[in-house]
Amino acid sequence: MHPTPSTALPVAVIGAGPVGLAAAAHLLQRGLPVQVFEAGSSPAAHLQGYGHVRLFSPWRFNIDRAARALLQREGWQPPADEGALPTAAELREQYLLPLAHSEALRQRVQYGARVLAISRRGVDKVKTRGREQAPFVLQWQGAEGVQEFEARAVIDASGTWGQPNPLGAHGLPVPGEREQAAQIQYGMPDILGAERGRYAGRRVLVVGAGHSAAGNLIALAQLAEEVPGTAIVWAVRGQDLRRLFGGGSKDGLPARGALGERLRALTEAGRLELHTGFAIGRISPDEAGRLQVHSAHDARRIEGIEQIVAATGARPNLELARELRMRLDPWLESTEALAPLIDPNEHSCGTVRPHGHRELQHPEAGFYAIGAKSYGRAPNFLMATGYEQARSVAAALVGDWAAADDVQLELPETGVCSVDFAAAADQAPGGACCGGPPVQNASACCVKDEDAKAAGATGCGCGPAVARPKATSACCG
Ligand SMILES: Cc1cc2nc3c(=O)[nH]c(=O)nc-3n(C[C@H](O)[C@H](O)[C@H](O)COP(=O)(O)OP(=O)(O)OC[C@H]3O[C@@H](n4cnc5c(N)ncnc54)[C@H](O)[C@@H]3O)c2cc1C
């Protein structure tokens, strides 16, 4: 384990979202001074942006343990029914605002403070000698210009929601995307509320295949019931909709399963114009100012689109840590060690085994990315995962290795495998997808995978066998 600068400097936390604030609570519990930098003008700025969305995890999964203890010491009352599903706005107002404004934290969060870059005092990325003893330096942009802050360690919990993926299946903005930006929104706009006027009575294209796309489509379906003329078009890259529709009643989070079920019902009822296998190649305006959306692979074209909602996921901002020594997975942009646990190409069950500081560490001692950002481009991050990451990293920062390594996390399964759904469901004990999380072999992704490895096979075959490059430390030969 690497040393960190042994000074009285605080730990800097980037982002006052649910995981950044949880990290602050764990650090305080461990007796470490902490300074949180939040780009927004108030806590949990990303959740504020999609406040209308009802979360699919109930309150009991959404409150961090150290944060709960801190709040309860100050007289906070938890929600009466912790089995209820809050909206993002309710989570923010009833839990995150009280936490950020608590006696313990209020002086330690700086708002309107966007961290631009992180390095080490007097040591650039190339220089090795003295590196681990040099304090971190954060450059942050505030109302008074760019300032610097020194820290003994840095926890980056800045999320990914601020960097939505573009429309192109190749990961780049397609020709026409920038030019037609006025007719495109990213993420989860408030279709039934603040943005209603933009979508009511329009022909709207939703692009994407995750929970955000499902939420947008369901909101548009409700709008279509209320406002005649609202037409819903849905384009997905893949052909097989089973994964999109989710695990239904097998999902450990019933509301998440229900989202997919509702989408399935809308699709089967023909209330959506569905285009599968449709990778967008180009967007062009027609004479009436509507959009034509062209397939990248064939002559297909979706005509007459008035608005596009791109629910195509998000990616981490890697610029922040450009000057630090990072070991990132080549395609997910998570840490290398975390990638095999969360890669949607390989991972079958949507169940992520517990992980903590070891999987999250980089060659740059004392720097960790946690929360939604830790997953890089992989979807399906859950707050509960981030809370356990925060607990483990805080323990590691004070050298309590027993606690840091004792990662415990029970995540609800999605009940969905990446391929071979029917076979997996049939073979899995108890009907759970692939049998659920592995029992003993921590490198396995599920029981089926564990059994296959025990029998000498390379794995369960749930996903395509894409070899991940092994990190090498030798310099020659
Ligand atoms: C629509 C939607 C629904 C979701 N539903 C659920 C659910 O039901 N259950 C669940 O467990 N998870 C859910 N998630 C996933 C995940 O738990 C949330 O995204 C969660 O908010 C992640 O927390 P975080 O603290 O890691 O990041 P964020 O909530 O994204 O917070 C990051 C914070 O960092 C700030 N920031 C960003 N860049 C900088 C910078 N350079 N300097 C300073 N501050 C910065 C941002 O303003 C923001 O406040 C959902 C996600 C989305 C998008």
Provide the CATH number for the domain around residue 294.
3.50.50.60
Domain contains 299: yes
Name the residue of 13, 21, 26, 38 whose CB sits within 8 Å of the most ligand 1 atoms, as the mutation to test its pocket: 38
Single out the residue in 261, 292, 310 at which a domain terminates.
310
* Cα 84 to averaged position of ligand 1 atoms, centre (Å): 20
Q: What are the tens digits of pLDDT across the range 32-63?
A: 999 999 999 999 999 999 999 999 899 999 99
User: What average pLDDT is seen over the chain?
Assistant: 87
Residues 318 and 294 in one domain: no
Domain contains 173: no
The rounded distance, in Å, linking the Cα atoms of 69 and 105 is 13
The verdict on the CB of residue 354 being under 6 Å from ligand 1 is no
- pLDDT at position 380 is 81
- pLDDT at position 255 is 73
What does DSSP say about strands 153-156 and 367-369: parallel, antiparallel, or unpaired? Answer: parallel
Residues 222 and 281 in one domain: yes
- pLDDT at position 211 is 87
Residues 93 and 217 in one domain: no
Atom 35, ligand 1: residue with shortest CA distance: 15
- pLDDT at position 474 is 40
Q: What is the mean pLDDT of residues 198-227?
A: 96
Residues 345 and 296 in one domain: no
Residues 306 and 340 in one domain: no
Per the structure, the count of domains in the chain is: 3
The verdict on the CB of residue 389 being under 6 Å from ligand 1 is no
What does DSSP say about strands 301-305 and 291-295: parallel, antiparallel, or unpaired? Answer: antiparallel
Q: Give the domain extent around 390.
A: 11-162+314-405
The residue whose two tokens read 């999609």 is 50
For the ranges 37-41, 343-347, 414-418, the lowest mean pLDDT is seen at 414-418
Residue type (1 letter), 234: W
Residues 77 and 99 in one domain: yes
The rounded distance, in Å, linking the Cα atoms of 465 and 461 is 7
Q: What percent of the chain has pLDDT over 90?
A: 72
Domain contains 366: yes
Residues 400 and 434 in one domain: no
For the ranges 6-10, 92-96, 407-411, the lowest mean pLDDT is seen at 407-411
Single out the residue in 405, 440, 470 at which a domain terminates.
405
The rounded distance, in Å, linking the Cα atoms of 106 and 114 is 18
- pLDDT at position 429 is 35
- pLDDT at position 463 is 42
- pLDDT at position 278 is 96
Residues 335 and 295 in one domain: no
- pLDDT at position 98 is 98
Residues 341 and 320 in one domain: yes
pLDDT reading at 425 higher than 50: no
* Cα 23 to averaged position of ligand 1 atoms, centre (Å): 13
CA dist 282 to 183, 274, 292, 300, Å?
A: 14, 18, 8, 11
Greater confidence (432 vs 391) lies with 391
Domain contains 415: no
* Cα 19 to averaged position of ligand 1 atoms, centre (Å): 8
Q: What are the tens digits of pLDDT across the range 286-303?
A: 999 999 999 999 999 999
Residues 215 and 346 in one domain: no
Q: What is the mean pLDDT of residues 78-90?
A: 96
Going by pLDDT thresholds of 50, 70 and 90, the confidence category of residue 433 is very low
Domain contains 79: yes
Domain contains 442: yes
Single out the residue in 288, 310, 332 at which a domain terminates.
310
Residues 287 and 369 in one domain: no
Q: What are the tens digits of pLDDT across the range 66-80?
A: 999 999 999 999 999
- pLDDT at position 8 is 85
Q: What are the tens digits of pLDDT across the range 231-281?
A: 999 999 988 777 777 666 667 677 777 888 889 999 999 999 999 999 999
Residue 79: burial class (beta carbons within 10 Å; 0-12, 13-18, 19+): middle
Domain contains 441: yes
* Cα 458 to averaged position of ligand 1 atoms, centre (Å): 35
Q: What are the tens digits of pLDDT across the range 110-158?
A: 999 999 999 999 999 999 999 999 999 999 999 999 999 999 999 999 9
Domain contains 169: no
Residues 24 and 145 in one domain: yes
pLDDT reading at 393 higher than 90: yes
Q: Ligand 1, closest atom to CA 255?
A: 8
The verdict on the CB of residue 311 being under 6 Å from ligand 1 is no
